[in-house]
Amino acid sequence: MSDDTPLVLVVDDDEAMRTSVSYLLASVGIACETYPSAEALLDSPYLRPPLRPGCILLDVRMPGMSGIELLRFLKERGCKRPVVMVTGHGDVPLAVAAMKAGAEDFIEKPYKDQTLLDAVNAAIRKCRQVLVRSADRDAVQARLAQLSRREREVLTLVLDGKQNKEIAAALNISIKTVEGHRQMAMEKMRARSVAELARMMLAPGETGET
């Protein structure tokens, strides 16, 4: 099974519900792992890199750590996976609390199979987008790490809109030296223009590892 295969982590203290969801997801080709409690999920190797696209399907009311408590715990640690909350006791305050805590969606039991599948598929698509942005961010950070101190200084001033003459004066170096550092830095960053470099530097904004 490739690392790009969607994986849903199902957390519910009801064994029958875990089994039912597993069969439903398997019927449409989505892999899943099930956990009887929040604590069991936190021990899962699937919360650690390398990450696969997917989501967490999380029951709200469970013994021990509740679903919303787990959701808050994961979000505080930068969880990238969208979380779909499921409850048999849905009400407006609970739904609001779940969404404020960072839930991607909120489903009330009993639900139609298609309703659950639609929510899961939407969450998987969202996760793929997040992982792509995260990979792009990591690539940019790796390129930045290759720059010398002077190249970083030059690029910072370039992004501030400074011309080579102004950069040379600010750093007390020759214009020719500025041009050399600028060209080398742009090559290392794989940026064909200042506009592309600016977009590249603005993109890395998401954090978190889970």
Map 158-180 to HEC letters: HHCCCCHHHHHHHHCCCHHHHHH
**Residue 108 belongs to a domain:** yes
In the predicted model, what is the mean pLDDT of residues 133-153?
88
Strands 54-59, 31-35: pairing is: unpaired
pLDDT band at 27 (very low <50, low <70, confident <90, very high): very high
Residue 51, token pair as written in the block: 């990450």
pLDDT band at 196 (very low <50, low <70, confident <90, very high): confident
Are both 43 and 91 inside the same structural domain? yes
Whole-prediction pTM value? Answer: 0.70
Q: How many domains does the chain have?
A: 2
Are both 126 and 160 inside the same structural domain? no
pLDDT of residue 51: 77
- What are the C-alpha distances in Å from 111 to residues 2, 7, 40, 51, 133? 31, 21, 25, 29, 32
**Residue 118 belongs to a domain:** yes
Domain of residue 42, CATH code:
3.40.50.2300
Domain of residue 195, CATH code:
1.10.10.10
Q: Look at residue 151 and tell me whether its pLDDT is greater than 90.
A: yes
